A and B are shown apart, each in its own frame.
Chain A
Amino acid sequence: MLKVEHLTKVYDNGTVALRDVSFTVEEGEFLVVIGLSGSGKSTLLRCINRLVEPTEGRIVWNDVDITALDEAGLRRVRREIGFIFQEFNLVERISVLQNVLSGRLGYVNPWWSLMYYFPPEERQRALEALETVGLREKAHVRASDLSGGQKQRVAIARALMQEPKLILADEPVASLDPVLAHSIMGYLERLNREQGVTVICSLHYLDLVQRYATRVIGLREGRLVYEGTREDIRRLSDEEFKRIYGEEAQRLGG
């Protein structure tokens, strides 16, 4: 269970990205965060694994206060939280396999890993993860040679290597076309359903939200402005959606 309590983030340049945000995520939920760009979605997700240091407030995950952890403790928590980025963030100049293996860095012997060595069972695990996302044959291709959708699947395989209990996905499909979007969301949904991984995902499109979310929270200018269950969302009309979301909201289908 993840509890976010009174989370506030003020950046060094004075921008207030989050104001007193509190919510709870139960084990196994598929929580979707909606909101305009600039509403604080990315900051919220990055605060949870402390890629961004929160200014105030606490984040408690399974009774561990993430905000109070020292570096070593933070690394132990991070390795169980997968993070999917909008821009995939693969390391372009190394192979797909090495990108996937890098998801295991929190577990393996750090000294061996500095020499780019991974034990055979880890390599096997990486190949299986690639198999899961259907990219087994691309293992030795340079990451820069992949298409957008393939890159995101590699990123998912990288997250799989972490054996995550929680996946944070920051607009995972915003850079992809609609068909690919469903395929990527499908992987996340399967992880959520079959392995009970909690997913917190920010999204743009109403139909994707309605299709995949079990719960939704809405952010506007850093404030929590909406909280609803799966049923609430299904009942939402476009107008209500736009009211929460802002005028720019749209359906994926157009």
Chain B
Amino acid sequence: MTFWRRLLHAVLSLLVPGLGQAWAGQFRRGFYIFLATFSLAGLTVFTAAQRARFPEQVYGLSFTVFLRLTVLAFLTLGALLLLYSGFSRRVPQDEYTRRMTFLGFLLVVVLVYFPLVGPQLLEVAMPPAGSRQLYGTLLMTMAAVVAGLWWWNIVDAWHVRPDEAQMGWSGLIALTLVGLLILGNWIVEINVPKAIREYRETSRILGDILWPWRAAFDYRASELRATARIQAPCPPGSQPPPVNQPRDDGPWVVVEPTCGQLSTRDDKGRLQYGTLLTIRGGGFVPGKKVKIKWENPIGNEFTPRGVGPTEIEVGPDGTFETQMYIPDVVIPDIAKGPQIHKLHVVQPGALRFTGTLSREMKLALQAMLVSIMMGFMATFVGMVLAVPLSFLAARNLMSTLRVSMQGLLGGVLGLSLGGWLGLQAAHWVSRQMGGLEQAPVAVALTSAVLVGGMALVGFRLMGRAQERLMAHMPAAVRTAIRMVGLAALLAVPGALLGLGYARGILALAWPPEEVAVVEPKLMWAVSGLAAIVGLVIGYRWPESRPVPLGQGIYAVVRLIMNVVRSIEPLIWGLVGVIWVGLGPFAGFIALTLHTIAALGKLYSEAIESIHPGPIEAIQSTGANRLQTIMYAVLPQVLPHFTAYSLYRWDINVRMSTVIGLVGGGGIGFLLIQWIRQVQYQHAGLAVWLIALTVATLDFVSAGIRKRLV
């Protein structure tokens, strides 16, 4: 009987007592266990309910809560099962490890399951505060019995002899799915009637977003307008403005008298009317309304309120007549004396299409271009950086990279030495070129090449030198060198570890002064410990045994890539905004970081899936490692690399529209602003542009990829 079958029985019985036994073909046994466990559990709840003297309430409550708990249990177990099968791809070979693994798994299940269920079960069983004390003990005992029975049933399921028939997982999956659906519906608060009821409210906004094109163009308003001037108050001793005369060639307005008193407000805010104006006008479009606007001496136009009608129907001959009081206009104290006001009569006409793009549309187009370029740059830079990384993260290439222990020790020394020399050289070169600000790309490139290259050369040279040198030494000296070298090599990360522990972990709980005292001690202690470990390993390390350097590099690069990849570009966007401020550069940084990690993984998987044959063939010709990569690996992976890069470009442009939401520049930035300003039509423009771009790009990249692979 396999481990998995036993596990399945046990898990089934954990979910429903007896189910595992039934699954194994022992239906009667399963049925009995089921009856026993559930009648006891039911009795427990029932007793609690009766004794608490709230039978109905408790029963009702217990049922719904129990249902929820069951669903929760399904969910937990499903997740745990997935986790468990994900973490242990390989079934341990020997019986002991297998048992320990299973026990560990069960422990996790129990630890998660019972704390989740326990308190709520008790809550269900003992609602009123008074009875809690009295029946708590009894109920705990009964619950313990139920738990014990449950546990025994799991153990029984583990040992039960199965039927010979093949089993499937479909039942369990179906159960988990049903549980998930019920729970999901409840958690997400899906409410269809509400969605239908409240759709009406949304339709106008939705319309703006779905068809926003009116906002894409400029319209010129053609309106008819006539103006008259009024002086307030009447100027003592001089003439008020002249009375307008009717015209034939356009709209006109005549106001009489042309001077008078402003309306005012008394202490209670009531309006005290000023001079009554008679307003006559003509030359307007018949049958439509005109609006009366007042312009105060400093040029502010407003619609006067409470002093007479402001919207008047124009007669069939294009004239109208109305009356209104001069409105109350707040005049600052320093502007005493007669002031000139204006009365406008405005008749709005149709908006005329001008054919030019509106300011918002131009902005949106610009921002879209920024987004596309941001995605493109991020993809390109990410691609360039991901290619070398992907070779380091390909298991099939790296697992063959091994060095001897003495080579590694010499190599690390050479690596640090070469890196330091490279850094000095890079500084010198950067000064010659006029510093980072003068020639950023050249300085960055040469620095990277110098530091990386010299470190690698140092590793190679010193590694070889050390190997050659040590070959001629007596064995004792070789061992001594290995011990000292390894101790020194491990002491550095040891010191960092001690420092990290002091600053990162101790500082959480301890006051800073104490941490500062302990910090150096801890650093030296851990460093010393690591050095001792190094001495021991160096002493015990067999001379001929190679160090799997490649596997180490593989693990480290993969780990970093996985961590970077698992952090969403949006969050990298926040980091970018803090780093270099708002704008497309921040978005570029976010997308590039994520792209390097994501493409690195895809690339390395493409490399891992190539045919090993050509590699063997090229190696057989005496080619070195780089030549092998260029001739046997690259031709095989190039189409995949191109396809993945295109795919990533597609993703990046899509992401670049979103990255703006956190301040990363581009169209997302514009979109979120317009949404916040409740300008749904403009937001709709942005949405449309994004959709069009993404669709186009998707179409194009899919086409190119189809041709490549």
A93 touching B618, Cβ below 8 Å: no
Which of A20-28, A77-85, A186-194 has 4 or more CB atoms under 8 Å from chain B?
A: A77-85
B635, A93: Cβ atoms under 8 Å?
Answer: yes
> Are A91 and B620 in contact (CB-based, < 8 A)?
no
- Decide if B620 touches A82 in the complex (CB within 8 Å): yes
Shortest B614–chain A CB gap in Å is 5
Q: Does A183 contact B (CB under 8 A)?
A: no
Given A91-B632, A105-B631, A114-B627, do A78 and B618 touch, yes or no (CB 8 Å)?
no
Contacts of A94 in B (CB 8 A): 631, 635
Q: Are the CB atoms of A85 and B616 closer together than 8 Å?
A: yes
Question: Which of A90, A102, A107, A110 touches B626 (beta carbons < 8 Å)?
Answer: A110
Interface size class of B (residues with CB under 8 A): 20 to 34
Q: Is the Cβ of A102 less than 8 Å from the Cβ of B636?
A: no
Residues of chain A lying within 8 A (CB to CB) of residue B623: 75, 102, 105-106
- CB of B507, distance to nearest CB on chain A (Å): 44
Which residues of B sit under 8 angstroms from A113, Cβ to Cβ? 627, 630
Give per-residue flags for A64-77: 1 if the beta carbon is below 8 A from chain B beta carbons, else 0.
Answer: 00000011000111
Number of A-B residue pairs at CB separation under 8 A: 83
Size of the chain A interface, CB-CB below 8 angstroms: 37
* Cross-chain contact B617 with A114 (CB below 8 angstroms): no
In the bound assembly, the distance between CA atoms of A91 and B631 in angstroms comes to: 8
Residues of B within 8 A of A81 (CB): 620
Query: Which residues, 583 to 623 on B, are CB-close (under 8 Å) to A?
Result: 611, 613-614, 616-623
Are the CB atoms of A93 and B636 closer together than 8 Å?
A: yes
Known A91-B635, A93-B638, A94-B635: A75·B624 in contact at CB below 8 Å: yes
Given the interface contacts A105-B627, A110-B626, A113-B627, does A91 sit within 8 Å of B621 by beta carbon? no
> How far does the alpha carbon of A71 sit from the alpha carbon of B626 in the complex, in Å?
13
Q: Which residues of A contact B630 (CB under 8 A)?
A: 113-114, 116
Task: Pick the residue among B467, B613, B621, B639 that contacts A78 (CB under 8 A).
Answer: B621
Given contacts A89-B616, A90-B614, A155-B617, contact A105 B626 (CB under 8 A): no
Residue A49 lies at the interface, judged by CB distance under 8 Å to chain B: yes
The answer to whether residues A78 and B624 also contact, given A85-B613, A91-B631, A93-B639 and a CB cut-off of 8 A, is no
Cβ–Cβ contact B622 & A75, under 8 A? yes
Contact with B along A38-78 (1 / 0, CB 8 A): 00000000100101000000000000000000110001111
Which residues of the partner chain B approach A116 to less than 8 Å between Cβ atoms?
Answer: 630
Is A122's CB within 8 Å of the partner chain B?
no
Q: Of B467, B620, B638, B639, which contacts A49 at CB under 8 A?
A: B620
Which residues of the partner chain A approach B639 to less than 8 Å between Cβ atoms? 93
Given contacts A93-B635, A93-B638, A113-B627, contact A106 B613 (CB under 8 A): no
* Contact residues in B for A76 (Cβ distance below 8 Å): 622
Besides A51-B620, A78-B619, A110-B624, 7 more A-B contacts (Cβ < 8 Å) are A75-B623, A78-B621, A82-B620, A83-B617, A92-B614, A114-B630, A162-B621
- Nearest first, the 5 A-B pairs at minimum CB distance are A106-B622, A79-B622, A89-B613, A83-B620, A105-B623
Give residues in B with beta carbon < 8 Å to A.
467, 611, 613-614, 616-624, 626-627, 630-632, 635-636, 638-639
10 contacts between A and B (CB under 8 A): A51-B620, A71-B624, A83-B617, A90-B614, A91-B631, A92-B614, A92-B636, A93-B635, A93-B638, A155-B617
